[in-house]
Amino acid sequence: MQELREREIGVLFWATPDPQEILPTVTSFGVRCAQLGIRGDLDPGVAPAWKKALADANLKITAVCAAYDGEYYADIPTVERTVGFIPPDRRAEREQRTLQVSDFAAELGAKGIATHIGFVPHESSHPNYIAVRGLVRRICDHAAKHNQTFALE
């Protein structure tokens, strides 16, 4: 694959179990780079098929984005309650999922992972601020082992 140009335009698309279900549509736009979104369960066994299909399609994944079960974007109050790492009862599962996305991204050769971490309180002494800060640090440490960046949306 030729080197990508600085600020080359790409797309974000959602992974399917079989890359051939979506890659022809994505590449029909003429893009050479993309972010790959992961919703639902992530079967680590699909990474080799995705890696081969991406190479065959000449499509570079710059980041793999994690989405989580139970997130709803209906309105701002709902987003504040359900998205990212803010819901305390979802933090552990979402942290583990993000680590899995990092591992999956590493198998694809993607140098970045991303997710919407939620509406973090402004006050640094707020319990949600403290908990999310620690969680993000752990994810960053894990991503660093793969030489990845972690983009916070």
Residue 4 backbone dihedrals phi, psi, to 5 degrees? -75, 145
Looking at every residue in the chain, the average pLDDT score rounds to 93
Q: What's the pTM value of the predicted model, to 2 decimals?
A: 0.92
152, containing H or E segment = strand 149-152
Q: Determine the pLDDT at residue 76.
A: 94
The answer to whether the Cα torsion of 97, 102, 108, 112 is positive or negative is positive
CA-nearest of 32, 14, 133 to 85 is 133
Q: Determine the pLDDT at residue 1.
A: 60
- Amino acid found at 134: G
Residue 81 backbone dihedrals phi, psi, to 5 degrees? -85, -30
Average pLDDT for residues 36-47, to the nearest whole number? 84
